[in-house]
Amino acid sequence: LRHRPAAMSLPESVAARLAAEAVPRALIGAAALAAAGVSRSTHDLDLLVTDLRVLDEAFWAPLRGAGIVIDVRRHEDNGGTP
């Protein structure tokens, strides 16, 4: 039998990409609440980054090439208050 390493989860894939480029990040939103023990239903993962390189489509090419959908939004694109 051959042992194949388990595929990375979506959060692990995104974290690995950000780490590979030394991009500081913070988990926010419902996933952060869940990590703190507060249950809230969600289907997305919200990360806060301040490195503008992540806004470049080419930054995410390795993940998109693997079939992962990346939806990058600036704060002002979400109708948020600066």
pLDDT tens-digit series, residues 43-64: 777 888 989 999 999 999 999 9
pTM, two decimals, is 0.68
Work out the end-to-end distance of the chain between its first and last CA atoms, rounded to an integer number of angstroms: 55
- In the chain, the percentage of residues whose pLDDT exceeds 70 is 83
Helices (H), the chain: 10-20, 30-35, 61-64
8 Å CB contact between 49 and 73: no
Range picked from 14-23, 38-47, 65-74 for highest mean pLDDT = 14-23
